[in-house]
Structure 1
């Protein structure tokens, strides 16, 4: 009314209201579409590496994802098929592809089910990690649970493959895994070039996890874990194996065999066996070869077939040290000769 009295303008309030509403709706639509585009980008990037529930959490909170990389406390898992070269030689390309798919599908599902993130597949090897991009306070325990379930799954797969081989009249040799676990600080983020990159992890602790997987062949064990993993995964049964200086490291680290879950850990049999095994390691590191040899024999029966290769390795060492003693500053450390 004031505009009409002063300047003769008559303004219909309906049009400005419509204009402001249109501007508001346009802006809201733009924000919504941009948010959805970001959510879809996260879903597309991680749907193949993480469990669906975790992908949705990450899509709802994309700010948790630092695309430039960050340092996080993580647990790493490396898995590899033992004797894969021999296996692959007996299969054509189509059969080999089917074998790997049948192997990796259930193993990947186990890792995702235990809140892990699949990093990559490398031929017959698999790499995964925990506590990135989303927080996982129990990442050492979840990684150990996944490793034990993977071993159990191999028994199911081997039974299926054995049946298929029998029906086809082929000889079958059970497929075995080697698994390495390690926990510590790593750098994780989108790694690569400006045009091609992957969400991955790097660092010294990653290398150690890979080396531990390789040492599963040396110690003839399925799952070998670093000291930090064994210390922080409280609800699992671990047995100290050795004081080992892995390839590429100047300092030795204590390595452990993952023997079972909390039921095994709390069993009287395992507690008694662990005490006997620790006494053996103490005698060995004190250069008491006779005492170590006697305790080794006492450990062999409860250790069973699972630890047969470990005690054979130590028996060979003791035999060597009797004729060629270690240097005066030796503290029980063994030097890894392979990766």
Structure 2
């Protein structure tokens, strides 16, 4: 059974298990009566009833297995997407293709500024507590903006927008999410709820290959491609420019006019030869 079932779901499952138990007991009783019956017609009737009870039991077990599979899939999906999106995927499973496919996506990377030096001042339990609190806040924002959590990377995270479900104006959602992340961190700092002093976000848009990637024993639903590499490298630009959010020119073309942006320097990203134009996103002060 899933560890995330609600009390109502547990009550329903217990009721189904009880019904199956009653079906099994009834079938055994009919079979016992059939063995004792002297009348051939009565014996035949009791055997037919026992077979019907067996069919009911099998049907209940089949439905129970389907339900448990759905709960397991829902819980697995909820690691990556919001509950609303998880339910939508369950209704339309064609969106979750297990094989690789090429999609137009927007990728977001975020990491914490100077976390190594910060963590050196805390014991391990405090480090874990601070990170878990921070990630909980940030992942909630990813889900609120229809994003998919890809993975945690030490003190950073990677998310993408536009899969497994199509997301209207995915690039806008990603940039809005980046701004919301910065504003949430500022609010946490103001409340004294976190020792984290700052974070950086890099956003890029382009083609990526998406699918279940890994070994036969462990696979992750993730994306690969140059669009991912560039988004990650933009964090370095954010650090150099002391900017909270840096986006690529590809993302800029899709969000221009919707946010306060200014062109940053053309930089040669690590691993590339040609210069990449970057844009800096201004974060409005939270009310």
Equivalent of 2:129 in 95, 98, 103: 98
Deviation at 1:80, TM superposition (A): 0.8
Residues of 2 paired with 1:141 and 1:27: CA distance? 50
CA contact 1:225–1:256 (8 Å) conserved in 2: yes
| 1:45 is the counterpart of 2:80 | no
Q: How far does the alpha carbon of each residue in 1:147-196 deviate from its partner, in whole angstroms, 9 at most, with x for none?
A: 0011111111112337x8xxxxxxx7x61101100000011111111111
| 1:118 is the counterpart of 2:149 | yes
What's 1:183 paired with?
205
The structure-2 alpha-carbon separation of the partners of 1:71 and 1:33, relative to structure 1 and needing over 3 Å to count, comes to: farther
Deviation at 1:119, TM superposition (A): 0.9
Equivalent of 2:245 in 216, 219, 223: 223
| 1:130 is the counterpart of 2:161 | yes
Q: Give unmatched runs, 5+ long, in structure 1.
A: 1-13, 165-171, 262-339
Equivalent of 1:200 in 218, 222, 226: 222
CA contact 1:67–1:189 (8 Å) conserved in 2: yes
The TM-score normalised by the length of structure 1 is 0.64
The structure-2 alpha-carbon separation of the partners of 1:254 and 1:31, relative to structure 1 and needing over 3 Å to count, comes to: farther
Q: How far does the alpha carbon of each residue in 1:22-58 deviate from its partner, in whole angstroms, 9 at most, with x for none?
A: 9997997688567545533431221122111001001
Secondary structure, in 3 states, of the residue corresponding to 1:95? helix
Deviation at 1:198, TM superposition (A): 1.1
Equivalent of 1:66 in 97, 104, 116: 97
CA contact 1:114–1:146 (8 Å) conserved in 2: yes
What's 2:21 paired with?
none
Q: How far does the alpha carbon of each residue in 1:262-284 deviate from its partner, in whole angstroms, 9 at most, with x for none?
A: xxxxxxxxxxxxxxxxxxxxxxx
In the alignment of these two chains, the number of paired residues is: 238
Secondary structure, in 3 states, of the residue corresponding to 1:179? strand
Residues of 1 paired with 2:61 and 2:100: CA distance? 28
Equivalent of 2:85 in 36, 51, 54: 54
Secondary structure, in 3 states, of the residue corresponding to 1:77? strand
Residues of 1 paired with 2:243 and 2:235: CA distance? 10
Residues of 2 paired with 1:151 and 1:203: CA distance? 26
Which of these two proteins has the greater Rg computed from alpha carbons?
A: 1
Residues of 1 paired with 2:145 and 2:59: CA distance? 38
| 1:245 is the counterpart of 2:268 | yes
CA contact 1:103–1:157 (8 Å) conserved in 2: no
Equivalent of 2:185 in 142, 154, 177: 154
Residues of 1 paired with 2:94 and 2:67: CA distance? 14
Equivalent of 2:232 in 177, 190, 210: 210
Q: Which runs of 4+ in 1 moved over 4 A?
A: 21-35
The structure-2 alpha-carbon separation of the partners of 1:25 and 1:96, relative to structure 1 and needing over 3 Å to count, comes to: same
